[in-house]
Amino acid sequence: MLQKIMQAIIPSKKMIEMFTYKIVSNQSIEQIAEKVPTACEQSKFALLHTYVYHEIVESKGFPIKRKVYIYEICQAKTAATMLTDFPHFAIFMPCKLAIYEENGSTVISTMNMEIMLKAVTSNQELYHEATTLFNTLKDLMKSL
């Protein structure tokens, strides 16, 4: 019911914008992608996996005209606490960082966790930890 009300009030494009945190850069996608491993290390994120998505979909017979990189990153301590207290958050983990080309620019984006983190305010320590993690991720993105 709530889902239908939200869809009636908020257009899909606006909803995606609400759940996305993004930064637009004039740097080339290659320049930014090259910096990701070091930026993750400096921000104490483990870089779990890198997907060169434009190559993956092309290998399956579906080439696209833009470059897209997707990174799975994690801070294990916060992840462990989140999964201990709120296992339903597993679907949002690990954190994703996407870098893609759009309209001649490079976009660096992730899920806007601010809305979701309101669900864990019953555990103030975890809420603080997860909010700090999200702020660190935003700083990482700005550093790229």
Residue 19 lies in a domain: no
**Distances in whole angstroms, Cα of residue 87 to Cα of each of 84, 90, 93:** 6, 6, 10
Return the CATH number at 124: 3.30.310.70
Residue 18 lies in a domain: no
Residue 7 lies in a domain: no
Residue 68 lies in a domain: yes
pLDDT band at 34 (very low <50, low <70, confident <90, very high): very high
Q: Considering only CA atoms, which of 99, 103, 110, 40 is closest in space to residue 75? A: 40
Residue 4 lies in a domain: no
Q: Which domain holds residue 117?
A: 24-143
Torsion sign, CA atoms 78, 81, 83, 86? negative
Q: What is the pLDDT of residues 71-113, one digit of tens each?
A: 999 999 999 999 999 899 899 999 999 999 999 999 999 999 9
Q: How far apart are CA 50 and CA 70, in angstroms?
A: 6
Residue 104 lies in a domain: yes
Q: What is the pLDDT of residues 37-77, one digit of tens each?
A: 999 999 999 999 999 999 999 999 999 999 999 999 999 99
Residue 98 lies in a domain: yes
- As for how many domains the chain has, the answer is 1
Residue 12 lies in a domain: no
Q: How far apart are CA 110 and CA 98, in angstroms?
A: 6
